[in-house]
Amino acid sequence: MRISDDRYSRDRLRLDLALRFIHHEARTHTIRAWTGLTDDRIRKLYRTYLYESDGSGVARHRGKSPRQAAFFTRSQRMRREAAVFASVSSLFGLITRESMMLERRAEAAPNVVRGALLCEAFETYRALVGEPQISFEHAVFLLAALQAGDELRVAHCRDCSGVLVTDRLALRTPVCYDCASVAPAHGADAGPGANPAPA
C-alpha cells in the first residue's frame, strides 16, 4: 500500500506541474522534459485544461523553443528583466553560487521539484515587472543558459553589487543601469573645480 501511495503522490505532483506549465504556455517537449509525462498524456491534459478554462487565455505553442541568448541583452529593458528573473531564481535556489562563476558547470537535470521552483520564480518575476517581456519558454532557456555559462553569466554591478545578466565574453566590468545613470549626475553636481572621483 505504501508503494502505491508513493507512486500516486509522484504522479499527482507530475500532473500538477504539467498543468502549471500549460498555464504558462510551455511547449509539449518542455513539459515532457520536466515532468517525464508522455506526449499523449500531455495532449490529454491540454484538452482537460482548455475545457475547464473554457478554452480562453492559453496558447499552445509549437515548434522549437527559444535559443537566442542575444534576446536577453538586446536592450536595456531586456537586460533589466533578465536580471530580475536571475535574482529571483537565485533566491529560489535555482541558480547556485557555483552558477555565478565563469567556469562551466554541469547543468542541473530538469525534475519535478526544480520545475515547481521554476514556476514560482517565473510567477514572482511577472509580479515584480510591469508588462513582462520574458515568456516562460524564454525563462526556461535563460535558466539553462546561466547554468551552462557558455553564452550568458550572472554577474554583479561594480558599484551596488546588484545582480546582472551579461555576455560571458564581455570585457568591461558590468555596471547596472541605475548606477550608470547616476554617475554622470554626480559628476555634474561636483562642479568644474571639483576633483574627479577615484577610479
Whether residues 77 and 173 share a domain: the answer is yes
pLDDT at 190: 40
3-state SS record for the chain:
CHHHHHHHHHHHHHHHHHHHHHHCCCCHHHHHHHHCCCHHHHHHHHHHHHHHCCCCCCCCCCCCCCCCHHHHCCCHHHHHHHHHHHHHHHHCCCCCCHHHCCCCCCCCCCCHHHHHHHHHHHHHHHHHCCCCCCCHHHHHHHHHHHHHCCCEEEEECCCCCCEEEEECCCCCCCCCHHHHHHHHHHHHHHCCCCCCCCC
pLDDT at 191: 42
User: Does residue 18 lie in a domain region?
Assistant: yes
Whether residues 43 and 78 share a domain: the answer is no
Residue ranges making up the domain that contains 160: 72-183
pLDDT at 2: 57
The strand pairing partners of 165, in sequence order, are 154
Whether residues 178 and 84 share a domain: the answer is yes
pLDDT at 18: 95
Whether residues 28 and 90 share a domain: the answer is no
pLDDT at 57: 61
User: Does residue 192 lie in a domain region?
Assistant: no
pLDDT at 35: 96
User: Does residue 199 lie in a domain region?
Assistant: no
Whether residues 113 and 143 share a domain: the answer is yes
pLDDT at 177: 79
Whether residues 47 and 92 share a domain: the answer is no
Whether residues 90 and 137 share a domain: the answer is yes
> How many structural domains does the chain have?
2
The residue type of 19 is L
CB-based contact 138:155 (threshold 8 Å): no
User: Does residue 66 lie in a domain region?
Assistant: no
pLDDT at 197: 41
User: Does residue 198 lie in a domain region?
Assistant: no
* pLDDT of the chain, 199 residues: tens digit per residue: 555 667 778 889 999 999 999 999 999 999 999 999 999 999 999 888 776 766 556 677 777 888 999 999 999 999 999 999 999 999 999 987 665 554 555 567 899 999 999 999 999 999 999 899 999 999 999 999 998 888 998 888 889 988 899 998 877 878 887 888 876 544 444 444 444 444 3
Tell me how crowded residue 172 is: count the other CB atoms within 10 A of its CB.
7
pLDDT at 51: 66
Q: Does the model's pTM come out above 0.75? A: yes
**113-135 burial, b for 16+ CB within 10 Å, e for fewer?**
ebbbbbbbbbebbbeebeebebb
